[in-house]
Amino acid sequence: MALLNRRHFLVGSASTLLGLGAGCGSGGSGSEPPSLAGYVLFNEPYGEGATASARIIAARPDGSDRKVVLDQHRLLSVSPDGALLEVQEATGTRNRLLFNTAGERQALLPALAESPTLNALPSAWSPDGQQLLYFSQILFPVPPPFQLTVLNRKGEVVRSVAKTNSWRYGWIGPTTVAWLDLTGTFRLDLNAGGTQLLSDNNAIQALSPDGNYLLAVEPAGASFQVVRQSVATNAKVPLLSGLNGATEARYSRDGRFILVTAVQSSGYVAVRIAASTLAVEATIALPTTGTLLAAPSVVWSPDFQSIAYHWTNVSDTPPSEHLELRGAVGTYSFARNNEPIAWL
C-alpha cells in the first residue's frame, strides 16, 4: 500500500479557502467549525484546458449566502453529522482528503493503487460517521478492477473488504458493509467476518439500511418496474410499474423512504415512497423539453420535500448544464455547470 506524497499537498497545493474562513493543517484554530446545515453543496468547474479546475460551493436553497468552501477541489461526500468533507484535488496528483467545514485538513486518504488522473467516486460513511467504505480503481485492471477498503477518520486502513466489478456499495448497520457485483449482492460483517451472498439478482440497485430488503429495476413486459425484494424469502413487491426505465432506486439514510429517479412516458420524475407502507408520497417532474438529465443527479432535501438535480439543456449550442431545485422550496436555477452533491 502506497501513500500519496504528503509534501505535495502541504507545500505544493495552491488551494485558497474563501467565505468560511481560511485554515491549513489539521490543528485548526480551536474554534468550532461553521455549520453548513441548510445549505446545498455542489461542485463548480471553471477554466479550460491546462487551467481547468473546480471549487466547492455552499449556498442556501434560494441561492443566497453563496460561499466558496474550498477552491481547487471537488466534493465527493459528507459525513453523516455534516462535520467532515471528503474531497479530491481538482488538479495535480488528485489526492483525496478529509477537511472540516472551516477548510482545515483533517486527513490524507491513501491512494491504494488508484490512477491520479481519475475522478474519484465518493466513499460510503458508516452510520456513526467513524469509518468510510472507500472505493478505488486498480491501475492495471485484471478483473475485477475495483477495490473496497474500510478506513477510519484518520485515513488509516482498517481492513480490505473485496475486489468488485461494480460501483454500488454501502453500510447496512454499524459494522456491516454490502456491495453489488455482476455476480450478485454481498455483505460482510466486519466483526464476525465471512462474506455472504444475499442475492444473485443482477438487477439489484440498493439495500435497505437494516439489510432486510433489496431494490431492483427489472423488465416487465415492454416496460420496467421497481420492486422491493425480501432478503429472507426473495418475495418481490412491485413499487413502480410501467416505466421506460429508472436511473436510480435507493433508500434514504434513515430507511424511512425509498427514493427513485425514473423515466415515465411524460419524462423524468423523482419519486418518494414511504418504506413502511410502500405508498407513493410525492412525485416531482423534472424538465423534459430540449433537455437531457445527467444521471444519477437527484439529491433530496433533509425533509424530503424538495430535490436538487443536475441537467443538460441540449437545445443550447453548445449544450448548457444547470443545477436546479424543485419542490416545496419552489423552483430555483443556480448558475450553469453545477453538480449537486449534498443538501444538509
pLDDT digits (tens, 9 = 90+) for 32-68: 888 899 999 988 888 888 888 999 999 888 888 999 9
Tell me the mean pLDDT in the region 248-264.
90
What is residue 68's predicted lDDT score, i.e. its pLDDT?
93
71, 112, 222, 262, 286 from 244: Cα distances, Å? 40, 39, 9, 8, 15
Cell representation of residue 256:
424511512
What is residue 13's predicted lDDT score, i.e. its pLDDT?
23
- Residue 292 inside a domain? The answer is no
At residue 335, does pLDDT exceed 70? no
- Residue 142 inside a domain? The answer is yes
CA-closest candidate to residue 187, choices 217, 203, 208: 208
Domain residue limits at 156 = 118-202
- Residue 137 inside a domain? The answer is yes
CA-closest candidate to residue 311, choices 247, 226, 245, 250: 247
- Residue 154 inside a domain? The answer is yes
Digit-coded pLDDT (tens) for 159-173: 999 888 777 889 998
At residue 230, does pLDDT exceed 50? yes
Domains of the chain: total = 1
At residue 23, does pLDDT exceed 60? no
Lowest mean pLDDT among 5-14, 44-53, 86-95, 314-323: 5-14
- Residue 286 inside a domain? The answer is no
The distance between the two most distant Cα atoms of the chain, rounded to a whole number of Å, is: 61
- Residue 311 inside a domain? The answer is no
Average pLDDT, the chain: 80
* Residue 251 near residue 243, CB atoms below 8 Å: no
CA-closest candidate to residue 73, choices 47, 99, 55, 97: 55
Lowest mean pLDDT among 146-150, 228-232, 313-317: 313-317
At residue 9, does pLDDT exceed 70? no
Digit-coded pLDDT (tens) for 194-221: 899 988 887 888 889 999 999 998 888 8
- Residue 149 inside a domain? The answer is yes
Whether pTM > 0.85 for this model: the answer is no
At residue 257, does pLDDT exceed 90? yes
Cell representation of residue 283:
412525485
Confidence of residue 265 (pLDDT cuts 50, 70, 90): confident
Digit-coded pLDDT (tens) for 102-144: 999 999 998 775 555 566 788 999 999 999 999 887 665 556 6
What is residue 336's predicted lDDT score, i.e. its pLDDT?
56
215, 314, 315 from 318: Cα distances, Å? 37, 8, 8
How many whole angstroms separate alpha carbon 336 and alpha carbon 192?
Answer: 48
* Residue 251 near residue 227, CB atoms below 8 Å: no
- Residue 279 inside a domain? The answer is no
What is residue 1's predicted lDDT score, i.e. its pLDDT?
18
